[in-house]
Amino acid sequence: MTTKITLSGEVASGKTTIGKLLAERLNYEFISLGTIIREKAYAEGLSIVDFQKKCQNDPSMDLEIDKDFSAFCNAREGLIIDYRMGFHFIEDAFHIYLKISEEDAVERLKSAKRYNESFETVRERNDSFKNQFFNAYQIDYTAVENFDLIITIEKSMTAEQIVETIMNHLKY
């Protein structure tokens, strides 16, 4: 069975929620680069959008973050990894992409009470990620050929249903 699963996707696609549920179901550890990035941004007194801009302007930041995070993940087993570039850096893993409309992403952010992330910041952050990773690695992280499974998140889908879809695609 796959001992590492990466979750990539757009802002507010449910990577963290789904990752935690999947980790619980498989008895794996959940780890999120997004959490680490938010902590770094906070430590520097920056919003997540401003921290992304800083990384985009200085690709060496991405290189350092990705080097450290991927080394940590590649040295371990039994991980669910919330990591947009996981398909590129995490070896011997099952790579999943979660796709969501901007409108549904904004609704999810409102439900999660993340009011500082509006419709404009969803689009801005998604565009920023694409540019940031293309500048650093010349890779489109949203390209379908990078993934073993792509799930389009619909409004009516529950996190449990998405986890069940993933479980049905994993090799035992």
Residues 118 and 61: beta-carbon distance below 8 Å: no
172 pLDDT more than 70: no
What's the gap between Cα 74 and its chain centre?
A: 17
Residue 152 belongs to what H/E stretch?
Answer: strand 149-152
Instruction: Measure Cα distances from 94 to 56, 117, 118, 155 in Å.
Output: 27, 29, 31, 25
113 pLDDT more than 70: no
14-35 per-position pLDDT tens digit: 999 999 999 999 999 999 998 8
Packing angle, helices 33-43 and 59-74, rounded to 10: 140
What span, in angstroms and rounded, lies between the C-alpha atoms of 89 and 78? 16
pLDDT band for 88, please (50, 70, 90 cuts): very high
Instruction: Measure Cα distances from 104 to 10, 12, 34, 146, 154 in Å.
Output: 11, 8, 20, 24, 8
Q: In the beta sheet, which residues pair with residue 146? A: none
Mean pLDDT of 91-113: 87
Residue 25 belongs to what H/E stretch?
Answer: helix 15-26
Residue identified by tokens 């689009």 is: 123
C-alpha triplet 106, 163, 151: angle, nearest 5°: 55
